[in-house]
Amino acid sequence: MSETGGSAEVCGARTGAMRVSWPVRHLPGRIRRGRPLRLLARALVAGALALAALHLVAGQPAAPALVTGVTTWFLLTARADLAPPPETARAAAPER
């Protein structure tokens, strides 16, 4: 393996890692600027529903499926409680 090829691989990996971590890095700020209480309530409801489903149909194949359903619902609906990402917010702001 040549020196340049190795450095290119490392660079690609770093870029990929940055792409993955970018939403995660901005997540706390988006939560803070969004609707944190509503998000918390949503998380509590999702947790309670998952626990109730696990309690009611314990040991059945429906239990992991219901937890998946509740998780999907939470992930899809929680986006509405987050503030828009900084780039989107900058683009949406009126030009002065």
Partner 1 sequence: MAVHTQKRAHWGPGIQKRARWGPGIQKRARWGPGILRLAGWLPLAAAALAVWPLAIVTAAGYAAAWLRGWPASRLGRQAGWTLPMTAVWIAAESARGWRALTLDPVRDGSSGWPHLTWLTVIRTFLLVAPVTIPAGLAFAALLWAWRTSMSTTRTSTATTESHGRQAPAASPAAAGPPAASPPARSPVVLPAPRDGLVSGPHPRVPAGSSRLDGILGPGVSR
Q: Which is nearer to partner 1, 17 or 41 (CB)?
A: 41
**In the block, residue with structure tokens 């239990």:** 63
Residues that bind partner 1 (CB under 8 A): 53, 56-57, 60-62, 64-66, 68-69, 72-73, 76-80
Q: Which is nearer to partner 1, 8 or 75 (CB)?
A: 75
Give CA–CA dist 42/73, Å, rounded.
10
Q: Which is nearer to partner 1, 21 or 72 (CB)?
A: 72
Give me the least distance between CB of 35 and partner 1, in Å please.
10
Q: Which two tokens stand for residue 53?
A: 């489903």
C-alpha to C-alpha distances, 25 to 14, 28, 36, nearest whole angstrom: 15, 7, 17
Q: Are 29 and 85 in contact (CB under 8 A)?
A: no
Give me the least distance between CB of 57 and partner 1, in Å please.
5
